[in-house]
Chain A
């Protein structure tokens, strides 16, 4: 019976946290690329730089996303998740 189990017991907890962290990681990575790619695209439109700013933005955003994933999902860092 599920109700009898203590809140912190074994594998089920791991899957819940794991799924959540997985989605958080994907969301940060895509978010980073999308946001900074979009800003780069706007800069491209503004300065007519033909895609270079978009590329720089996407790479920068990916780096930022990876940084956030490490910061917020790694155990025993300042991040709780």
Chain B
């Protein structure tokens, strides 16, 4: 396939085009291409059916089963499974929805619970053993979730106040008139542009960076092990210990980012519903 003239860069291509190489192929350093997976089936017909697609389906299926089994036979004194589902829902309702929105937050608790469990699970895919990558490390998935949050808080705000009053509440802060020309563009950008972007980017960047870091230390261990200088090879142990330690950090990041995403969505909805800022 590759002409003779390109024989020299061929090595670089093999390293760079991770999507062409097998998954088990350890190339160092890791690159963005490690996030582009090949189609699981025939790429001509199913280019979209990648590992990420499968993981999202898996997450949806697992969450469905989790809640359906938990509520299959609800009892006054909950069993362990029912207790887990109720705890998750209770957390999303009391500690996020009601806390950020107030009494009306209960209306949004089902969505927040769904969002929280989906984010928790897909984020934790990033460190769970055979999977070890989160769909959220690809900007498309956080972007869609951010769009849902964005449409939701604007829609809810417009329904509550009417378009003109909602815009007035969102864009005109309580300030003397001569500062308003400075403040209104900031509010406009902050509410309508920065909010959805930061929502998506924060989650994406955390998951992306987490995966890259784990790749660096894990593959770096193999790179050190295969080093020409024998004295360097034991250092691969250090690299792998770092990989394990950072896996724990990534667990924390996964849970925290899921929580932050839902809290911020709730806060935006709460802000849109509030009578005055």
Contact = CB atoms under 8 A, between A and B. Distances in A.
A35 B175 CA distance: 19
Interface in B165-189: 173-175, 179, 182-183, 185-189
Contacts of B183: 64, 67-68
Given A1-B83, A7-B94, A36-B186, A20 B194 contact: no
B206 interface: no
B264 interface: yes
Interface residues of B, number: 36
For A2, A5, A71, which residue has the most chain B Cβ atoms within 10 angstroms?
A2
A33 to B, nearest CB: 9
Contacts of B98: 7
A17 interface: yes
B198 to A, nearest CB: 6
Secondary structure call for the B interface: helix
Given A27-B198, A36-B182, A1 B174 contact: no
B230 to A, nearest CB: 48
Given A19-B260, A35-B189, A64-B182, A2 B91 contact: yes
A19 B265 CA distance: 12
A42 to B, nearest CB: 12
Contacts of A27: 190, 194-195, 198
Q: Please name the 10 residue pairs, one residue from A and one from B, whose CB atoms are nearest each other, closest first.
A: A3-B90, A2-B90, A31-B190, A64-B182, A20-B267, A78-B174, A7-B98, A35-B189, A32-B186, A2-B91
